[in-house]
Amino acid sequence: MSLTCLGVSVDVNTEFEAVIGLEVHVQLATDSKIFSSARARPEPGNSVADEAVNKNTTPVCAGHPGTLPVLNQKAVNYAIRAGLATSCKINLKSIFARKHYFYPDSPKGYQISQYDLPLCEGGHLDIEWGEEGEMTKRIGITRIHMEEDAGKSVHHHGYSLVNLNRAGVPLIEVVSEPEMRGPAEAGAYLRKLYAIVTAIGVCDGNLQEGNFRCDANVSIRPKGVKEFGTRVEIKNVNSFRFVEKAIEYEVERQRQVILSGGKLVQETRLYDSQKNRTFSMRTKEEAEDYRYFPDPDLPPLILSEEQVEAIRASLPELPDQKRDRYIREFGLKRYDSTLLTSDVLWGRLFQESVALCGRENGKILANLMIGEGMRLVSSADPDETKGFTAKQFSDLALAVADQTVSMTAAKQILAILFEQGGEVGAVIDREGLRQVSDLSALEPVIDEILAKNPKQVEEYRSGKEKVLGFFVGQAMKATRGKANPALLQDLVIRKLKG
């Protein structure tokens, strides 16, 4: 029996391509909620969990009968910023609509959102992916609309409790065109969007607290086919890596269904990150009819050209512009520059550090941050408050530049600073990591290594020059990274040849 998909016959050898569109909910970093004066985010220094349950509410966001929404102008400005930073057209007239569904954490029985006429339309993002960011593509943004968040249901001991602190928190939903063709592109899109909304200051970017949540629409089709296959929506994944993995899983699952002669159904699925699989939440038949209609409590949102232009003029340097500038000014590799400029905190740290140690040391600084710094931070427990200061990085960059420490030792120093804090100079002294450029100190070390490894010495002398690296590595290890690498290499060569 021959199988077909979208009118094309398919078998195990058919190459399929994924069609991915993303809907990202970005929480706007306003102090008050979108339609009420209640606090929208925890007091400075607090996490969401620190806030007393149902404390950040007013009768309006609790949906009390008789209350009316009043639009937070700051949230509008933030949404416009996001629209402009993603090259959207800003609609000078947009409409708020009610989206109806029953759920205990939706206090009004509807969510105020935008439907027919959203605030922003027709933008795009340029993404880069691949090992060194060598793949690039422009992804269209269909629309960005404003809406309110729901409350949070907490289930325990057979009861369901509702916390309305989050109800009415301002969100924008950024809807992409279905133009991504694989998990890596989706990941790159999310990282770029995240970099932009955090760089322009409209989102705090706290992934653990759900500041940036993603729904992915995924379908597949045999390569070359223009039509779309049956679409599956994967809901609410809040880590970039999990989105990639969920899509990866989903693409393969859909391929299996097609190749086993099954039929894909339009449905909403959830991703289980522990099992790394998606499972069905509801099918299209079970989907709600949201019964959108214009919210009669909110007049159309009317903006002037001047308002929009004033916001455009206030936009800071965007990640792409900053990346190009860093390449120019510090001679960074494109990929490294992307890494540094796509994270607000690293970007800020870099900027502050470079101001201290001078731009001529920017490249060393970048290497320290990208190599070891980012690895340390990302592997640490996110709840811990360990971190680096600009002073630490700039001191260390200077120490590397004037050869006080080797790059290898610098990495050890970073790890110590990260774990214990402290000053660069003090750590160097305490750990005895000052670079050894003294020939008389290195010579005995090398002699010993050569004596212990006669086989490798023989190999080198018979023309296998690659073995050089082995000796240098051994010598570095023996000196705990303190040896001046250039000096060391010269010395090894001299000894081997001599």
CA-closest candidate to residue 100, choices 298, 287, 297, 283 = 287
Strand runs (DSSP E) across 238-284, as ranges? 267-272, 277-283
Selected binder of other proteins within 46, 104, 432, 494 (CB under 8 A): 104
Applying CB under 8 A, which of residues 44, 45, 224, 296 lies at the interface with other proteins?
Answer: 296
Residue nearer to other proteins on the CB measure, 97 or 218: 97
Quickly list H helices, 49-182: 73-85
**Nearest-approach distance from CB 422 to other proteins, in angstroms:** 52
DSSP 300-321: -EE--HHHHHHHHHT----HHH
Place of tokens 């201290």: 356
108 binds other proteins (CB under 8 A): yes
154 binds other proteins (CB under 8 A): no
125 vs 421: CA distance, rounded Å = 38
| 110: contact with other proteins by CB under 8 A | yes
Residue 62 binding other proteins, by CB under 8 A = yes
Contact between 300 and other proteins by CB under 8 A: the answer reads no
Q: Is 70 in the site for other proteins (CB under 8 A)?
A: yes
Cβ atoms of 129 and 185 closer than 8 Å: yes
| Binding pattern for the stretch 162-201 against other proteins, x by CB under 8 A and - elsewhere | x---------------------------------------
Least distance CB 156 / other proteins (angstroms): 17
Q: Work out whether 115 is an interface residue with other proteins (CB under 8 A).
A: no
Among 43, 73, 103, 273, binds other proteins (CB under 8 A): 103
Q: Is 109 in the site for other proteins (CB under 8 A)?
A: yes
In this chain, which of 7, 45, 65, 463 binds other proteins, going by CB under 8 A?
65
Measured from the Cβ of residue 372, the count of other Cβ atoms closer than 10 Å reads 18
Binding of residue 107 to other proteins (CB under 8 A): yes
Decide if residue 297 touches other proteins (CB under 8 A).
yes
Q: Is residue 261 a contact point for other proteins (CB under 8 A)?
A: no
When asked if residue 64 is in the footprint of other proteins (CB under 8 A), the reply is: yes
201-231: burial string, b at 16+ Cβ within 10 Å, e else = ebbbbbeebbbbbbbbbbbbbbeebeeebbb
Closest to other proteins by CB, 116 or 402: 116
Map residue 363 onto helix, strand or coil.
helix
Using alpha carbons only, give the angle 448, 495, 441 rounded to the nearest 5 degrees: 55
Neighbours of 337 (CB within 10 A): 25
For residue 154, CA distances in Å to 74, 104, 125, 158, 410 come to 30, 10, 36, 10, 47
Neighbours of 184 (CB within 10 A): 16
Name which of 50 and 102 has its Cβ closer to other proteins: 102
The verdict on 63 binding other proteins (CB under 8 A) reads yes
Sole binder of other proteins in the list 48, 117, 270, 298 (CB under 8 A): 298
Least separation, in Å, of the C-beta of 294 and other proteins?
Answer: 8
Give yes or no for residue 59 binding other proteins (CB under 8 A): yes
Partners of residue 222 on adjacent β-strands: 16
Residue 71 as a binder of other proteins (CB under 8 A): the answer is yes
Contact pick of 20, 33, 38, 69 for other proteins (by CB under 8 A)? 69
Say if CB 26 and CB 169 are below 8 A apart: no
**Closest Cα partner for 278 from 304, 256, 245, 307?**
245
Taking CB under 8 A as the binding criterion, the range among 73-81, 87-95, 292-300, 389-397 that sits at the site for other proteins is 292-300
Binding residue for other proteins (CB under 8 A) from 67, 238, 307, 437? 67
Size of the site for other proteins (CB under 8 A): 29
Determine the longest span between alpha carbons in the chain, in angstroms.
Answer: 93
Within 8 A by CB and 6+ apart from 286, the residues are: none
CB under 8 A: which stretch of 62-70, 121-129, 139-147, 418-426 binds other proteins? 62-70
Q: Please report, as ranges, the residues that interact with other proteins according to CB under 8 A.
A: 59, 62-71, 98, 100, 102-104, 107-110, 162, 289, 291-293, 296-299
